[in-house]
A and B are shown apart, each in its own frame.
Chain A
């Protein structure tokens, strides 16, 4: 499409079902009750001038430009704050209004620079547009009075500027920060003529303030006061393409606003069903990695990892790789090969990688990063509900009365959804947080959790069972729901189990370190507070009992009847942009696309017929088992697309030993990531801006990804996989991802109704999408559980084998931060490093004092597995005895310290519990120094040789 600003109706949509008919400028208009006159006019094709109104925040009524006349009413009310009424007769353009508006506009322009031709908002400025609309030709007051034109611009933020000389004090930025983002970083400082938008205190600028750079204020600004630096540098976009963000499982939709093949800016799409027009600092601004100088654009090979890389043609790279794979297969059999699909790539690319492994390599050794994040969600929810995906859409949170957030930090990891949560909390919903850290949701502007249960890491199951104990023993269970929807006998067995005194909060307090009375109050609130919605993250799954904790969560939801309608449910907050999709596409070693086991001969026969090959009927290896098998000498080659297992997976030394033991490691990525230090072939990847396809977010929402520029490396990732397959004689002939979607739909019943054209037409759809659900499925388990009765399962608390003791007295838990994403491969190559340039070790003041550590000091972090050093941040966000860090930076490699312990059912690593000791240090550990040297040596590149004449 060409470029035009997104439609703005001025005020939010009314959710009323009652309809009201009124007359606007002689036309009958029918709209929902509660709609503003401004919006009614806009919806019926009219346009009332406005400056302070915009439709993603409440009307404000300050600019006095949207005045209208209403027959029978006195004065000229603001149309943004006046609701429609039956029979109302409205005039939006009269001589009186014309005069009033022109006078208002004169006042604005008398204190505004007249530099339109050189202004970055020229032709994209609402003030300029409304000045034209009201017919402003002169300013009677002149331009010589007191004004703000000499105010200096704040350039501190890396992504946008704040130029107060162009501010009209409409407060849209302040309200966007409050109402849309929920951070309350901005305010109007001063009064009257001295009124100014201010970020934080007098000494603050935008960078030093509490601003989280979500971009909502920039998006809301009607002038060039808050403006993207990229627009100032490049100019206005000339076209916009709706696509899906490649960060995090929220799956925000954006307009990639382009000028030629240059991306001018990413603007949140107001019709996006996951983000509803909002964004975070990553999706909105942190796309610079796509053109970063570190990006590798040519294929490279080397015989051994101590050699420099040699740039080669695609033909040579593929033929070399195929020849090596064939030789290994011939000597060691297909089980010596494997692949890892990427949760950052599209569904179609992921599907092709697993097809390559199964149909061309001839093995089921395929796995994906869900192994190390939400595999326990799959196991736990499938056990209890019969199906594992999140039960709700994101909109559901606006109907929640009580939110229970367990082991998740949404403001950092899922920030756009966190803003929706905060909005609902400000409306009065109650919040329970179960987390060892005092995450921002516990207490931030206008938000305060009713209960924070700061449990000891590793005791989720004990806390969840004690919550169930209170609900059952205090008679708060919803027996009507249980009898109707669940297996009653199993419930009774479970109720007897949780009612045992050994599961009481009082008995378990010694283990969980959560005051029993707080557990009781939280349980009562969740059971009796209305719609109860549970949101959880990796703080639940990444434990030795991750699957049991998910089961315990499902038990809680079922016993309180919080399933099957808007406002309730069990909602795993998934990490990466397409982790749901990568699972759907058959990335696990035991199952084919559509969650059908490889043992099932009918399922195999379906794929064998379509793919024209025989499939191995036995499950393959999980990632960690691939590494074990590599060390044992039975696993020799791996194709890794878009994952950096050396940095992301636990026990780095084990990962490196496994990789080093292999004969052929093929890394397909944008950058020479840490895993590539051990690779023999590097195939350059493409960014989400360079290809078509689909991502599936945490709501099961399948959304289109659109190519807005040619792949800088020459090929989209699905094309690279196809080239590799064909070098292995597969004979694939896809010409566009839509053909891969057709194959997925043909072979996968839950996607049978999906095709590319339909997706582009409807924008997005939540699976299952098939004959029974042609428009998809927003809320699951509405009438009954998808697979029969809900199943209560006993969850015995089995403590982890990872124990603290005299040598390792502290517990380390890891996580992530707002400005960085996963291993940081993308975000570290953007200006986001200004907020987080290194991983820090958070430590309670008491623990720090005992060790003589202050904020900024180097600390040695050691576990039974390994050690690293990093700087200390002393904070009471963590409890005594607990330390916390992130894993975004390879120079730290927090996973050198984490262990091989994993979830009992799925082998999801126990990242959240590692016994450690922390001591002062002078600088990097021996391992870090060795790794730095290895990394530098491994990244040497010999340029391609010119072909001989």
Chain B
């Protein structure tokens, strides 16, 4: 990979080294602490409780016409603009790290992980999501994406948070409800990925 990049950026070796460094993924012990620091960062910025799924509610409150709004969406979403800004930042961050400085090599999965990908029928390629589950010409892919989205939206609002609000913020601030939620979504996540996903991917093939 560095060879093709070097050509792209001319013969400047230092430049290509910098680009290579920016493209390289981080080990867990770099990424994990940086994720954890988001909790005190949001508190420092303005006593905000870090949680991303609330934005789904705010987006509904923004988009729904006032007449047909259930009570759950009748509140001053403008007071929550900070969180919508955070979500906009996520999009820009995805562009920066996922396109401009995208890792040109596939994820270094374990041998067992590679075997699982093979069994699931997906190819390991240098992207965040395998092409097989991005292929919108397959009705099965629509089924997986739609069902997943529906449950993510419904479940996070019912459960009052997602991985960021419960597993990261809630556990970091020692909240028992967040432990219940985290145990619940890990348990069903494991079941869903091991039993339901292979079934649905079988339909895609």
Do A and B come from the same complex?
Answer: no
Binding site for B on A (CB under 8 A): none
